[in-house]
Amino acid sequence: MTVTPLALTRPASATDALLRRLVARVPGSSGATWQLTEVYTGDTLVELPQSTPADIEQAFTVARAAQREWAATPLKERLAVFKRAHTIFVDHARTVADLIQVESGKNRQMAIEETCDPVMVMSHYLKRATRLLAPTKRGGPVPFLTSSTEIRQPKGVVGIIAPWNFPFATGISDAVPALMAGNAVVLKPDNKTALSPLYGIQLLEEAGLPSGLFQVVCGEGPDVGPTLIDQADYVMFTGSTATGRVIGERAGRNLIGCCLELGGKNPMIVLEDANLAETVQGAIFGAFGNTGQICMHIERIYLPASRYDEFKTAFVARAEALDVRAAYDFGPEMGSLVSVDHLRRVQSHVDDAVAKGATVLCGGKARPDLGPAFFEPTILEGVTKDMVCGVTETFGPVVALHKYDTVDEAVALANDTDYGLNASIWGSDLGAARAVAARLESGNVNINDILATAYAAKGTPSGGVKTSGVGARHGDQGLLKYTDVQNLAVLKKQVMGPRPGQDHEKYVRSMLSGLKMMRKFRIR
């Protein structure tokens, strides 16, 4: 690993004045604050207000009032806001990346790529929203005399709870289709990473989003969560499986819908005919991209026994050569973990594996010389299911190599987990790779890629199966989930039921033969 300590200067755009202006939007009537720090240095950036239950209720009151007007605004005008926002977001991508980097510690490339996500989501739903939200005639039970129309109405105020690993993408991208559909949003970002979503809301308002429509409340999850869920008409949650269960339970009790995008323990299967150089490069991103803090990243790699050694040698050599350090330019290939607390979790997973017999092929240690939360790219061998990292998501730059003898064995090992978020298959024969994909219990499967191909395909729903989630983002359901259906039915003439004085048997005969006729002529 290259070690190049840097004299670090905070990005010029992340001025104290900007940061103070951003957090001024967060209600905090008790005066309590949370110290939001620059990850690379541990220095305090700004005091983030912490919202009380009364503040959260007030945020919903304001959002609800704004939502009524927004829902009454013609869809074309609502969409025009996002057309303008698309340009503004692209023009401000560098400032957004600066904020993402200071608050999350990820490297520059991942930060700039994250800025593209809301823009891609806007682009997709700008093309699709008009059709999805248009009333759809379905026809009624009696031809010509009845009609039924499917009408999509906004749910009201959507509560979004977002994690720290992609704070801008999860805070803003999931709000875009909710807003387009006519909802208001109350967002609870993670305390650590509130700046970039706050800046995104400022940009949306510059594009013409009515003020009050997109609220932000901050605080520790268990403090803010209950009031937020109790006030919301729908909850969009991204985070760990453990928290997802808490959110889902409360949403269920309140009889509101929710979408839960949760954790993973994602496998990569390398087939016999995989290209070595491409596979190694893919695995480097899969294991260490975003410092291993991507829900769809790779924590388990399954290799055919015949190719295990060559892959292992090349992969370890490449991991050891990674440029890991703190910088706000494009130099480093890997940045920091998000916090010292998270570093302790990652270290504990590695220590537990080593204590139970795993071998560290490279890495395995914290790097305080690089910054408070840096951890080395780590490759393990001999990980088993009695180790914490053998079964539980580590969410750091730690990956385990495993050998397999047959493809059946590889599939069984890949599926031997409670999670089912993402899987990656590498091989030259795409037919064979597709056949493996069909056998995997996973909401996303990427062939010859780790995750970007699936995640960037905004027209296809993306979500987890098993304990990795409920529901999906993207695709038609990524917008329709934020709507209720009104079935508007019209009866033009009183033809339902027997006519006054009609013989009952005659009515039954005519109704039953009518059913047969309609089937024959494919009317209903």
Q: Using CB under 6 A as the criterion, which residues of the chain lie in contact with ligand NAD when the complex forms? A: 161-166, 170, 188, 190, 221-222, 225, 238-240, 243, 246-247, 261-264, 295, 393, 395, 421, 464, 469
Distance, CA of 74 to CA of 149 (rounded, Å): 19
Strand partners, 261: 238, 469
Least distance from C-beta 287 to ligand NAD, angstroms? 14
Nearer to ligand NAD, 238 or 442 (CB): 238
Nearer to ligand NAD, 221 or 364 (CB): 221
Helices and strands of the chain, counted as H and E runs = 19, 18
Residue type, 362: C
Distance, CA of 19 to CA of 48 (rounded, Å): 10
Least distance from C-beta 359 to ligand NAD, angstroms? 26
Nearer to ligand NAD, 34 or 308 (CB): 34
Least distance from C-beta 131 to ligand NAD, angstroms? 26
Nearer to ligand NAD, 285 or 395 (CB): 395
Q: Which two tokens stand for residue 268?
A: 């990569």
Least distance from C-beta 233 to ligand NAD, angstroms? 16
Q: Which two tokens stand for residue 329?
A: 């330019």
Least distance from C-beta 121 to ligand NAD, angstroms? 13
Nearer to ligand NAD, 228 or 271 (CB): 228
Residue type, 331: G
Contact 162, 188 (CB under 8 A): yes
Least distance from C-beta 274 to ligand NAD, angstroms? 26
Report how far Cα 206 is from the mean position of its chain's Cα atoms.
Answer: 25
CA angle 419, 382, 450 (to 5 degrees): 45
Contact 405, 250 (CB under 8 A): no
Least distance from C-beta 135 to ligand NAD, angstroms? 31
Q: Which two tokens stand for residue 247?
A: 């959110």
Least distance from C-beta 47 to ligand NAD, angstroms? 18
Q: Report DSSP state, residue 214.
A: E
Least distance from C-beta 250 to ligand NAD, angstroms? 8
Helix ranges, 214-361 (H): 221-231, 241-253, 276-288, 308-320, 340-355
Distance, CA of 291 to CA of 139 (rounded, Å): 53
Please state, in angstroms and as integers, the Cα–Cα distance from residue 11 to each residue in 145, 293, 417, 462, following that order.
67, 23, 42, 34
φ/ψ of residue 496, rounded to 5 = -85, 135
Distance, CA of 80 to CA of 180 (rounded, Å): 10
DSSP per residue, 105-173: ---HHHHHHHHHHHHHHHHHHHHHHHHHHS-EE---SSTTTEEEEEEEEE-SEEEEE--SSSHHIIIII
Q: Is there a catalytic annotation at residue 261?
A: yes
- Does residue 275 sit in helix, strand or coil? coil
Distance, CA of 382 to CA of 348 (rounded, Å): 17
Place of tokens 């109704």: 511
List the catalytic residue out of 103, 114, 261, 333. Answer: 261
Dihedral sign, CA of 441, 446, 452, 453?
negative
Nearer to ligand NAD, 161 or 346 (CB): 161
Please state, in angstroms and as integers, the Cα–Cα distance from residue 355 to each residue in 69, 218, 342, 349, following that order.
60, 39, 20, 10
Nearer to ligand NAD, 296 or 361 (CB): 296
Could you give the residue numbers annotated as active site? 261
